[in-house]
Amino acid sequence: MTKEIISDSTFYICFLDDINHPEGLRKIINSRKFKFVIGPVVEKEIENSPNYRFIEDDLSKVREKPLSFNYGEVVRPFLGINEIEKGEHEVIGIAIVYHLKGRDFILILDEDGPRRIIEKKLSGIKSKMTGTVGFIARCYCEYHIYTKDEAVNILERINNSKFRVHSLIVDKALNEIGGCNQ
């Protein structure tokens, strides 16, 4: 059974633009281990990438569109009125609905604010949440999508890119990869 990935655009943009490595993302997409749940707000954000064309066809084969609904409204009680149109808030709303339906998913969020919402107010979803860097480690250790060298290379590229992540988080993922038995 394939797991569903619910992610904001940061995950996709990391590969497409920040580290300019669409092939790394295509490898995850083409592994057929996941369905990618992409709402309309996140869709617009990733379609703006000049490199989106490199993943568009592959992603369309494993993409699941959630029901047509303004998922940002689900999180309105936790946020200001203007906040519901952001992609990260859309994915929190989708995650809430999927959680209530008993769906098996991974929530990939990198922004501190939305992560705090999950940690403080939506603790039932917390165990399903990871960041881009943590997910890359899982793609080696748990899902066997990347070789060790590929995973390390991607994390090093992230560490040297404009992607906003603390180097300690990257170091933790590198240590996790080093400790995996393949």
d(CA 19, CA 179): 25
Q: State both tokens at 70.
A: 């303004």
Whether residue 146 contacts residue 182, with contact meaning beta carbons closer than 8 Å, is answered with no
% the chain with pLDDT above 70:
87
Is the pTM value of this prediction over 0.85? yes
Own/partner pairs, 81-89, CB within 8 angstroms, 24+ separation: 85/41, 86/41, 87/8, 87/9, 87/39, 87/41, 87/42, 87/45, 88/8, 88/10, 88/113, 88/114, 89/114
- Residue appearing with tokens 């290379």: 153
pLDDT tens, residue by residue, 120-143: 888 889 999 999 999 999 999 999
Strands 63-64 and 129-130: unpaired
pLDDT tens, residue by residue, 87-125: 778 888 889 889 989 999 999 999 888 888 888 888 889
d(CA 108, CA 39): 14
pLDDT tens, residue by residue, 62-81: 987 766 665 566 665 555 55
**What is the SS3 assignment for 106?**
strand
